[in-house]
Amino acid sequence: MAASQRLQTAMLAAAATLAVAPVAYFAWTRFVRRSERLQALKLLHKVELIVAEVGVRLLYLANQAEDAVGNDERSAAEAPESTLNSYYHFDSHGNKLRTKWDSYDVDAELQRLEEEEEGEKNKGNDRDEVSALAKSKAAERKPTFVAIDKKQLLSAVAGIEREFEAVLEFLDDVRGDDDVKKLRKAIALKINEDHFGRVDYVRRLLAV
């Protein structure tokens, strides 16, 4: 009788152990998944910071590219016009039009300048001083531009583009629940639409 009771007790204990095992396994699996989710989110937040830092460097390069293009445009605007166009004009067929220079009397003009020179000798020094002062002021007003190497800018932009591509490749290997997938998608969208768009913008600027 006692042996039968002991056997029954042992069977009940074994049954209880078997019943608890699936629950314990489920709890352990849930704990692992939760830990993996937290680790994935933490990792993605670090990736976000990296992408933001690289984005700031890209924005700085875009500003430099705009300055380089602006310098080129200002330099072109300050270039002197062709001396040929200053004296001659042409019609739509390429024929030179007559101007006042075609009937210009060189000998008479030289005679007039010699006569004026005699009366202007005493004022010559004053004019020289005024002219020198005017040139000095003009030199002070003339803006100076810092030369920016477009090839170096293009090389730097290409390097940043490769950094973003490496991040996208890394994101492909990150797995997790819906929250992880949502954050991963947001980071990838930021790179593809904003940062790659700015990379293309800089390249278009520097191609001018």
Q: What average pLDDT does this structure show over 84-112?
A: 51
| Cβ–Cβ < 8 Å for 34, 136 | no
DSSP state letters, 64-131? HHHHHHHHHHHHHHHSPPPHHHHH--B-TTSPBPP-GGGG--HHHHHHHHHHHHHHHGGGHHHHHHHH
Cα of 90 vs its chain's centroid, Å = 45
Half-sphere exposure (CA, 13 Å, Cβ side) for 109? 5
Question: What percentage of the chain exceeds 90 in pLDDT?
Answer: 29
Band (168; pLDDT cuts 50, 70, 90): very high
| Cβ–Cβ < 8 Å for 55, 193 | no
The torsion angles phi and psi of 90, rounded to 5 degrees, stand at -125, 150
CA distances for 157 relative to 70, 195, 197, angstroms: 19, 11, 12
The predicted structure's pLDDT at residue 197: 95
Question: What percentage of the chain exceeds 70 in pLDDT?
Answer: 46
| Cβ–Cβ < 8 Å for 40, 187 | no
d(CA 129, CA 137): 12
pLDDT over threshold 60, residue 92: no
d(CA 125, CA 128): 5
